[in-house]
Amino acid sequence: MNSINLENSEIIQVVFFILLAFLSMFLVLVLFFYFSRKKIVQIEVEKKNIEIENQKKILQNTIETQEEERKRIAQDLHDDISSKLNIVSLNTHLLRTPNLKDEELNEITQNIIELTKKALENSRRIAHDLLPPVLEKFGLHSGIEELVFECNSSKSVTVEYFNSSTKESLESLSAGTQLHVFRILQELINNSLKHGKAKKITISLENISNQVKLLYQDDGLGFNRNDDEVKAGIGMSNIASRVTIINGESQIFSKPNEGFQFQLIFAYE
């Protein structure tokens, strides 16, 4: 009888331990799922936060770009147009002076003609800077050709441009995308001349499936992005904003004394 009781209590103990083991395993599993779920949610939240931060930066950059652009246009209008029109106005009033000699009349009229001509030229230049007419009329390829021609005529640098992308691929780009790519190239060239003191620049456009690949390189001084001397200007961050706006992907390669390379890939419709 005693031995039966002993066996029963042993069985109860075994069952109890098995139950306890299952319960512990269950608990461990629940805890494991709870914490891994929490981790996943945390990673998702962090990702979303980074996305929001990036969007905020782009918005900030866009606003800064607009402000810079407005400042520049205001300066150009003030220095190149308003000042000239002011003198034209003064000269026109002078014409009312009684008993003007022929010589004086001639001089004043000549002044008015020359200043009006300059004001007209300047307003044309300002308008062209805002939206290069060649880009609007003939598209990105011709815009780049003109840019390259202007740089080469300065004789301080040689720019080579190769375009193997199809006409249709470039024509299907929106006017906005074409302008963004054009502005990116303008800034890259500015930097190559200003910082890299480059002597040779190569620009190429090609198609990869339904995308356009832009490759830009210079043979200048190059730089190391982590270097303290390399100050983040507005130029490179504008480029980054423009790349995001056109849904492109870009990469920069540069090392001191090894030139600078920029690659941009973006889709065409």
Ligand X SMILES: Nc1ncnc2c1ncn2[C@@H]1O[C@H](COP(=O)(O)OP(=O)(O)OP(=O)(O)O)[C@@H](O)[C@H]1O
Cβ at position 89, least distance to Mg ion in Å: 38
What does the block give as tokens for 143? Answer: 């815009």
Cβ at position 264, least distance to ligand X in Å: 15
Alpha carbon distance 241, 230 (integer Å): 19
Q: Give yes or no for residue 91 binding Mg ion (CB under 5 A).
A: no
For 39, half-sphere exposure in the C-beta direction (CA atoms, 13 angstrom radius) is: 6
Q: Give yes or no for residue 191 binding Mg ion (CB under 5 A).
A: yes
Alpha carbon distance 102, 108 (integer Å): 10
Cβ at position 261, least distance to Mg ion in Å: 16
Cβ at position 40, least distance to ligand X in Å: 37
Alpha carbon distance 167, 138 (integer Å): 11
Q: Quick one: 132 or 222, whose CB is closer to ligand X? A: 222
Cβ at position 146, least distance to Mg ion in Å: 21
Options 169, 235, 240, 252; binder of Mg ion; rule CB under 5 A? 235
- Which does residue 215 bind out of ligand X, Mg ion, none, counting CB within 5 to 8 angstroms by kind? none
Alpha carbon distance 115, 109 (integer Å): 10
Q: Quick one: 114 or 150, whose CB is closer to Mg ion? A: 150
Cβ at position 187, least distance to Mg ion in Å: 6
Alpha carbon distance 39, 20 (integer Å): 28
Q: Give yes or no for residue 139 binding Mg ion (CB under 5 A).
A: no
Q: Quick one: 230 or 245, whose CB is closer to ligand X? A: 230
For ligand X, the nearest residue by Cβ is 233
Task: Let me know the angle formed at the C-alpha of 225 by 190 and 71, rounded to the nearest 5 degrees.
Answer: 40
- Which does residue 222 bind out of ligand X, Mg ion, none, counting CB within 5 to 8 angstroms by kind? ligand X
Alpha carbon distance 81, 89 (integer Å): 12
Quick check: 252 and 243 in contact, CB under 8 A? no
Residues near ligand X (CB under 6 A): 191-192, 194-196, 218, 220-223, 230-236, 260
What does the block give as tokens for 28? Answer: 């461990």
Q: Quick one: 39 or 194, whose CB is closer to ligand X? A: 194
Q: Phi, psi (5° rounding) for residue 66? A: -60, -45
Quick check: 185 and 225 in contact, CB under 8 A? no
Q: Quick one: 111 or 186, whose CB is closer to Mg ion? A: 186
Q: Give yes or no for residue 252 binding Mg ion (CB under 5 A).
A: no
Q: Quick one: 230 or 267, whose CB is closer to ligand X? A: 230
Alpha carbon distance 16, 142 (integer Å): 84
SS3 readout for 3-72 = HHHHHHHHHHHHHHHHHHHHHHHHHHHHHHHHHHHHHHHHHHHHHHHHHHHHHHHHHHHHHHHHHHHHHH
Q: Quick one: 88 or 223, whose CB is closer to Mg ion? A: 223
Piece of the chain touching Mg ion by CB under 5 A; list 20-28, 88-96, 216-224, 229-237: 229-237
Residues interacting with Mg ion, by CB under 5 A? 191, 233, 235
